[in-house]
Amino acid sequence: MKTHDKAEQLASYRKTIDNLDSALLHILAERFRCTEQVGHFKAEQALPATDSERERRQMDRSRIIANEVGLSQHFVESLMKLIVSAVVERHKEIAGET
Ligand X SMILES: C=C(O[C@@H]1C=C(C(=O)O)C=C[C@H]1O)C(=O)O
Which is closer to ligand X, CB of 50 or CB of 73? 50
Task: Pick from 36, 51, 71, 77 the residue near ligand X by CB under 6 A.
Answer: 51
Q: Is the dihedral of CA 42, 44, 46, 49 positive or negative?
A: positive
Single-letter residue type at 91: H
Cβ-in-10-Å burial (0-12, 13-18, 19+) of 39 comes to buried
Which is closer to ligand X, CB of 38 or CB of 71? 38
Helices (H), the chain: 3-44, 52-69, 73-97
Which is closer to ligand X, CB of 17 or CB of 86? 86
Where in 54-93 is the site for ligand X (CB under 6 A)?
54-55, 58, 84, 87-88, 91
* Residue 35 interacting with ligand X (CB under 6 A): yes
State how far Cα 43 lies from the chain centre.
22
Residues contributing to the site for ligand X (CB under 6 A): 35, 38, 50-51, 54-55, 58, 84, 87-88, 91
